[in-house]
């Protein structure tokens, strides 16, 4: 956990200015002849004839110093993860730097194709962490191959397929049931694996009724895939009954445990009856996030699904570890080798440092922080809570709405969010689609953010909403202090936007020539 930035005050609102360097893109920089390090005898690479290019690439010629300075400036103009980030559903945590050092020191020189005898340390780590998560979830085996939460959901969809195929029921069981508030990766991966998706709608209590579930469960049910609590922060207390209903019909139950932070050590997926679950190491377990790439969705299951897990599995024999890839019922791979091992190591280090007591304290803090926020946000002009009529306690996050502010000032949640970046707040997480709550935002403080940070965040929101009433143009024109200004065109205009320099030249060449 980090130390708070103490003594923030409203008087400092006006003081924030993000770095804004008036530099062109690197391809427009430089002059012929400028160089970095020049080697006297640079070896010519030996390439097959066809692979060597005939003309030199059009690269900018700049000095090493220019290049370093330019990229340092760009890093200062990064748009997120630098201010207070209460980006809901993402459980923003500090990623201890020691994890980076440890991964570098212990993994940089290893390769997964080495002989397992020379990989005993990392195999032990995988096995220990699987045991740790089995303790946390009640499951029997974890695998770390999936490259993110969605990949772990996909793993489950594939395991479901293999499980029912092994029982000769796959053709009959072609439906997966989920809820409208479950993360979209569950229906998406179920579809990808070939299942029809049946999505349940929310009802009066903020979750679908048992009756609604019963109306669709039957001989076609292959699995239930849900998260709980959902990202409005409401815990479905009928969940055990849900699992019983689906099991009675012969379906499997998967718990998307990405929203685990508020219930760590308070419940075990297996004890609720679930056959499998998933944790996101890059959310709950303190490893860095990475754009759907270097992340880990840790997938765990009970004994009856272990034969179907992706391989290889780490197996302990006596005091030794080996990789078991001879598993005829396995679904194969969902990712290369053993997934993102550095992330697994960082998360393991984090988890061991926290221990059971640390996890419990973090869970309680995240629920406490959210309820504190909820209490303060209730007093902010024009802000309302989703499901206002439901008094169920909210867990580690709550969805709110500025519908009233938007109606009275014309300032939408997008504009309010952009204006907040003018005060060193990272843009808000709004909601998954489709939007059930109009003008939504979903902050999540987790255990990381100090009371000072949370107060500052709410102070800024309060300030921006006051601005929306007093000087709406200031909000609508935001950001003013951020590295860049508002976009004036939609991002999906193919004739306007280019993702490479070459495409840019092609699309804007005429205009550039005219200038």
Partner 1 sequence: MPEDDLKRPRRLGLLVNPVAGLGGPMGEKGSDAPDIAARAEAAGRAGQAGARAARALAAFRRASEAPILAGPLPPETRAALDGEVETLDLGPTAQGRAETLAAVAAMAERVDLILFAGGDGTARDVAEANRAGLPVIGIPAGVKMHSGVFARSPERAGRIAAEFLAARTPRTDLVEILDIDEEARRAGQLSARIYSVARTPATRGERQNPKAGGGDMLADLDAALAGYVAGMVEETLYILGPGTTMAALKARIGGGTLLGVDLAEGPRITARDLSEDDLLERIPPGRPVRVVLTVVGGQGFVLGRGNQQISARVLERAGRPPIDVVCSAEKLAGLTPPELTIDTGDPALDAQLSGYWPITTGPGRKQVVRVVA
Q: Which of 364, 348, 231, 334 is nearest to 287 (CA)?
A: 348
Q: Which is nearer to partner 1, 90 or 269 (CB)?
A: 90
Helix (H, G, I), strand (E, B) or coil at 295: coil
Q: Which is nearer to ligand PLP, 297 or 342 (CB)?
A: 297
Instruction: Answer with the entry of partner 1, ligand PLP, none that 27 interacts with (C-beta below 5 to 8 A by kind).
Output: none
Distance CA 336, CA 353 (A): 28
Q: How many residues bind partner 1 (CB under 8 A)?
A: 46
Helix or strand (DSSP H, E) at 508: helix 501-514
Instruction: Answer with the entry of ligand PLP, partner 1, none that 216 interacts with (C-beta below 5 to 8 A by kind).
Output: partner 1
Q: Which is nearer to ligand PLP, 30 or 149 (CB)?
A: 149
Among 61, 78, 215, 218, binds partner 1 (CB under 8 A): 215
- CB of 296 vs ligand PLP, minimal distance in Å: 8
Distance CA 439, CA 134 (A): 39
Q: Which is nearer to partner 1, 383 or 430 (CB)?
A: 430
x-or-dash string of contact with partner 1, 448-477, rule CB under 8 A: ------------------------xx--x-
* Bridge pairing between strands 276-280 and 252-256: parallel
Instruction: Answer with the entry of partner 1, ligand PLP, none that 431 interacts with (C-beta below 5 to 8 A by kind).
Output: partner 1
Q: Which is nearer to partner 1, 112 or 438 (CB)?
A: 438
Q: Which is nearer to partner 1, 489 or 500 (CB)?
A: 489
Which residues share a beta bridge with 443?
87
Helix (H, G, I), strand (E, B) or coil at 256: strand
Q: For residues 294 and 147, is the Cβ–Cβ distance under 8 A?
A: yes
Q: For residues 207 and 236, is the Cβ–Cβ distance under 8 A?
A: yes
Instruction: Answer with the entry of ligand PLP, partner 1, none that 130 interacts with (C-beta below 5 to 8 A by kind).
Output: none
Q: For residues 295 and 278, is the Cβ–Cβ distance under 8 A?
A: no
- Look up residue 175 and give its two tokens: 């439906």
Instruction: Answer with the entry of ligand PLP, partner 1, none that 148 interacts with (C-beta below 5 to 8 A by kind).
Output: ligand PLP
- CB of 71 vs ligand PLP, minimal distance in Å: 27
Instruction: Answer with the entry of partner 1, ligand PLP, none that 365 interacts with (C-beta below 5 to 8 A by kind).
Output: none
* Bridge pairing between strands 320-324 and 313-317: antiparallel
Q: For residues 221 and 249, is the Cβ–Cβ distance under 8 A?
A: yes
- CB of 150 vs ligand PLP, minimal distance in Å: 3
Return the ∠ at Cα 359 (arms to 353 and 362), rounded to 5°.
110
Q: For residues 329 and 165, is the Cβ–Cβ distance under 8 A?
A: no
Which range in 102-110, 187-195, 265-273, 498-506 contacts partner 1 by CB under 8 A?
A: 187-195
Q: For residues 402 and 439, is the Cβ–Cβ distance under 8 A?
A: yes
Tokens 């302990």 belong to residue: 316
- The 3 state secondary structure assigned to 131-174 is HHHHHHHCCCEEECCCCCHHHHHHHHHHHHHHHHHHCCCCCCCC
Q: What is the largest CA-CA distance in the chain?
A: 78
514 sits near partner 1 (criterion: CB under 8 A) = no
- CB of 437 vs ligand PLP, minimal distance in Å: 16
- CB of 269 vs ligand PLP, minimal distance in Å: 14
434 sits near partner 1 (criterion: CB under 8 A) = yes
Instruction: Answer with the entry of ligand PLP, partner 1, none that 23 interacts with (C-beta below 5 to 8 A by kind).
Output: none
- CB of 246 vs ligand PLP, minimal distance in Å: 19
In the region spanning residues 188 to 207, those forming contacts with partner 1, defined by CB under 8 A, are 191, 195-203
Helix (H, G, I), strand (E, B) or coil at 84: strand
- CB of 246 vs partner 1, minimal distance in Å: 15
Helix and strand element counts for the chain (H, E): 13, 12
In the region spanning residues 394 to 433, those forming contacts with partner 1, defined by CB under 8 A, are 406-410, 412, 414, 427, 429-433
Q: Which is nearer to partner 1, 160 or 431 (CB)?
A: 431
Among 31, 52, 435, 503, binds partner 1 (CB under 8 A): 435
2 sits near partner 1 (criterion: CB under 8 A) = no
Q: Which of 228, 215, 150 is nearest to 186 (CA)?
A: 150
Task: Annotate 371-419 with DSSP letters as a single string.
Answer: HHHHHHHTTSTT-EESSTT--PPB-S---EE-HHHHHHH---HHHHHHH
Helix (H, G, I), strand (E, B) or coil at 425: strand
Instruction: Answer with the entry of partner 1, ligand PLP, none that 149 interacts with (C-beta below 5 to 8 A by kind).
Output: ligand PLP
Distance CA 278, CA 493 (A): 37
Cβ count near 122 (within 10 Å): 21
Q: Which is nearer to partner 1, 30 or 187 (CB)?
A: 187
In the complex, the residues that contact ligand PLP under the rule CB under 6 A are 89-90, 148-150, 183, 185, 227, 256, 258-259, 280, 292, 295, 297
Q: For residues 247 and 432, is the Cβ–Cβ distance under 8 A?
A: no
Task: Annotate 115-131 with DSSP letters as a single string.
Answer: -GGG-HHHHHHHHHHHH
Q: Which is nearer to partner 1, 223 or 306 (CB)?
A: 223
Q: Which is nearer to ligand PLP, 294 or 311 (CB)?
A: 294
Q: Which is nearer to partner 1, 32 or 291 (CB)?
A: 291
Which range in 38-46, 124-132, 179-187, 459-467 contacts partner 1 by CB under 8 A?
A: 179-187
Give the footprint of partner 1 on this chain (CB under 8 A): 89-90, 180, 184, 187, 191, 195-203, 208, 211-212, 215-216, 406-410, 412, 414, 427, 429-436, 438, 472-473, 476, 488-493
């Amino acid at each position: 956990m980090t130390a708070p930035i103490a003594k923030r005050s409203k008087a400092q609102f006006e003081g924030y200015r993000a770095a804004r360097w008036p530099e062109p893109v690197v391809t427009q920089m430089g002059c012929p002849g400028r160089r970095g390090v020049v080697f006297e005898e640079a070896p010519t690479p030996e390439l097959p004839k066809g692979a060597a290019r005939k003309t030199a690439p059009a690269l900018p010629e700049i000095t090493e110093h220019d290049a370093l300075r330019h990229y340092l400036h760009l890093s200062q103009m990064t748009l997120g993860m630098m201010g207070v980030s209460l980006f809901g559903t993402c459980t923003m945590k500090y990623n201890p730097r020691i994890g980076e050092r440890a991964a570098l020191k212990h993994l940089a020189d290893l390769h997964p194709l080495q002989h397992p005898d020379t990989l005993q340390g990392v195999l032990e780590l995988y096995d220990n962490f699987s045991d740790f998560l089995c303790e946390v979830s009640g499951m029997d085996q974890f695998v770390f191959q999936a490259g993110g939460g969605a990949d772990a959901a996909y793993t489950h969809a594939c395991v479901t397929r293999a499980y029912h195929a092994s029982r000769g029921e796959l053709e009959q069981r072609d439906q997966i049931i989920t809820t409208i508030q479950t993360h979209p990766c569950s229906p998406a991966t179920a579809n990808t694996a070939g299942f029809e998706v049946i999505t349940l709608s929310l009802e009066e209590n903020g979750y679908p009724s048992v009756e609604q579930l019963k109306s669709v469960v039957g001989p076609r049910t292959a699995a239930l895939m849900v998260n709980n609590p959902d990202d409005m922060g409401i815990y479905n207390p009928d969940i055990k009954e849900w699992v019983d209903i689906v099991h009675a019909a012969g379906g499997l139950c998967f718990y998307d445990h990405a929203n685990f932070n508020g219930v760590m050590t308070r419940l075990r997926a297996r004890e609720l009856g679930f056959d499998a679950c998933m944790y996101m190491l890059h959310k709950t377990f303190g490893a860095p996030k990475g754009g759907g790439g270097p992340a880990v969705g840790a997938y765990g299951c009970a004994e009856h699904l272990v034969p179907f897990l992706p391989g290889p599995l780490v197996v302990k024999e006596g005091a030794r570890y080996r990789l078991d890839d001879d598993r005829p019922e396995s679904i194969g791979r969902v990712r290369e080798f053993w997934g993102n091992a550095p992330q697994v190591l960082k998360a393991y280090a984090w988890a061991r440092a926290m221990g059971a007591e640390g996890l419990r304290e973090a869970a309680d803090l995240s629920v406490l922080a959210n309820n504190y926020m909820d209490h303060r946000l209730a007093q902010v002009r024009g802000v309302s809570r989703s499901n206002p009529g439901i008094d169920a306690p909210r867990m580690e996050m709550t969805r709110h709405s500025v519908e009233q502010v938007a109606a009275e000032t014309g300032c939408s949640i997008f504009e309010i969010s952009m204006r907040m970046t003018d005060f060193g707040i990272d843009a808000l997480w709004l909601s998954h689609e489709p939007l059930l709550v109009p003008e939504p935002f979903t902050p999540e403080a987790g255990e990381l953010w100090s009371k000072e940070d949370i107060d500052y965040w709410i102070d800024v929101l309060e300030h921006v909403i006051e601005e929306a009433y007093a000087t709406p143009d200031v909000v609508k024109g935001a950001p003013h202090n951020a590295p860049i200004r508002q976009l004036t065109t939609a991002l999906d205009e193919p004739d306007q936007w280019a993702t490479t320099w070459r495409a840019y030249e092609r699309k804007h060449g005429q205009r550039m020539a005219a200038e």
